[in-house]
Amino acid sequence: MKAIYSDRQDLHRPRYQFAGGRRRRHPDVPERTAAILEAVQEAGFEVVAPRSCAPEDVRAVHADDYLNYLANAYEAWTGITTVAADVIPGTFPVREPTRMPGDIPRLAGWYCLDTETPIGRDTFEAAMASAACALTGADMLLSGECCAYALCRPPGHHAGRDYCGGYCYLNNAALAAARLSTGAGATQRVAILDLDAHHGNGTQDIFYKSDQVSYVSIHADPNATYPYFWGYAEETGAGPGSGFNLNLPLPRDVRDAACLDAVELALAAIERFEPAFLVVSLGTDGAAEDRVGPFALKAATFETMGRLVAGLRKPSLVVQEGGYDLESLAGCVTAFLSAFPAEAE
Ligand code: Q9C
Ligand code: ZN
């Protein structure tokens, strides 16, 4: 099994975020990918660089005006502030915006969900490198490999067609799913299984009306956990996508066994969908040691989840999402991946 990683991703170094009304250090640090990289190398994975990714490659999922904004926001922002600082919006067009604003402080709120997703000088370049890892992984499956691991950072599942949020800018898993769905000529069904402890509102949004890409997510109840406004069980898809979106919210103090029961339900739904490919949004922020994620799961539970998912025997791309505890993160990732075949069969 190959791991795809780009060191361009390390350029993204968010300085801080505002959460709970306080300025805090940002948990999405480059040491996350460094820890995972070391562990996958030790586990014998071949690490390869992604092929480069152009704006056309991300247009399958993201809007032109949003890509343009991401590419230019930092420069516009530093042009109006005296101290160079990351772009963090302060005003949001909630509920009934009447028109799209034209200048940077308002645009920042137009294109972002929260105050936790700063845009720095190199954020766009790093996000493109992260997307490139996922797209390269999708190409590997299209050329017949059984599985691949995209070591993506920044993560992607909170980012929608035209917004960032939750530390995410480009939706890596959605980009991979879109490529897998259309890449083999005729359209093929793709299932996305999201195991990050937060609901992937962006991925859900992107495929909400699709009958070709099904989104299935296990996450903490959004009544008490980010992203708060999405991720409820009654969100089941719309139009042709009706019935193909499955949210399995769990209480924040869920036990390992109950989480694995939810995984069984998720996998049963995926089997009924009969996808040609599986994309796993693997967040390990549900680990007990992780202070960003709300669950308290054991590393052994990630291993069991990996075994259950690998048991589907679908061509599978595992895409890294969250996971912030630098001590336990890499162990949870390699535990999950250990059940996938080491070599193409
Ligand atoms: N006090 C991902 O895992 N809010 N994003 C945390 C904690 C943001 C995390 C607040 C959580 C988003 C990809
Ligand atoms: Zn998360």
| Residue 6: pLDDT over 80 | yes
Which pLDDT score is estimated for 50? 98
Nearest to 85 by CA among 66, 110, 108: 108
Q: What is the pLDDT of residues 214-238, one digit of tens each?
A: 999 999 999 999 999 999 999 999 9
**Closest CA to ligand 1's atom 5:** 166
Mutation probe of ligand 1 site: the residue of 194, 292, 329, 332 with most atoms within 8 A of C-beta: 292
Q: What's 296's DSSP letter?
A: -
> CA distances (Å), 112 to each of 87, 115, 160, 161, in order?
10, 8, 10, 11
User: Is 155 near ligand 1, meaning CB less than 6 Å away?
Assistant: yes
SS3 label, residue 50? coil
3-state helix, strand, coil in the chain (%, to 5): 35, 15, 45
Instruction: Write out the two tokens for 133.
Output: 């890892």
Length of the chain: 345
**Sign (positive or negative) of CA dihedral 263, 268, 272, 275:** positive
| Interior angle at CA 93, CA 157 and CA 97, nearest 5 | 115
Annotated catalytic residue: which of 26, 62, 157, 158?
A: 158
Ligand nearest to the CA of 115: 1
Nearest to 195 by CA among 331, 316, 313, 323: 323
Atom of ligand 1 minimally distant from the CA of 283: 3
180 residue type, one letter? L
> CA distances (Å), 191 to each of 180, 271, 311, in order?
10, 9, 15
> CA distances (Å), 34 to each of 38, 133, 142, 175, in order?
6, 15, 28, 24
Question: DSSP labels for 245-256?
Answer: EEEEEE-TT--H
User: Is 194 near ligand 1, meaning CB less than 6 Å away?
Assistant: no
Question: Which neighbouring-strand residues pair with 244?
Answer: none
Mutation probe of ligand 1 site: the residue of 17, 169, 198, 325 with most atoms within 8 A of C-beta: 198
Q: Is 199 a catalytic residue?
A: no
Confidence of residue 344 (pLDDT cuts 50, 70, 90): low
Q: What is the pLDDT of residues 323-340, one digit of tens each?
A: 999 999 999 999 999 999
Pairing of strands 16-19, 22-25: antiparallel
Confidence of residue 83 (pLDDT cuts 50, 70, 90): low
Place of tokens 């071949």: 46
**Closest CA to ligand 1's atom 2:** 322
232 sits in which H/E element: none
| Residue 100: pLDDT over 70 | yes
SS3 label, residue 279? strand
Q: What is the pLDDT of residues 262-276, one digit of tens each?
A: 999 999 999 999 999
**Overall average pLDDT of the 315-319 stretch:** 98
Expressed in angstroms and rounded, the spacing between residue 249 Cα and the centre of ligand 1 is 16
Instruction: Decide: pTM greater than 0.95.
Output: yes
Which residues have beta carbons under 5 A from ligand 2 (an ion)? 196, 198, 283, 285, 322
| Residue 125: pLDDT over 60 | yes
Nearest to 70 by CA among 131, 135, 133: 131
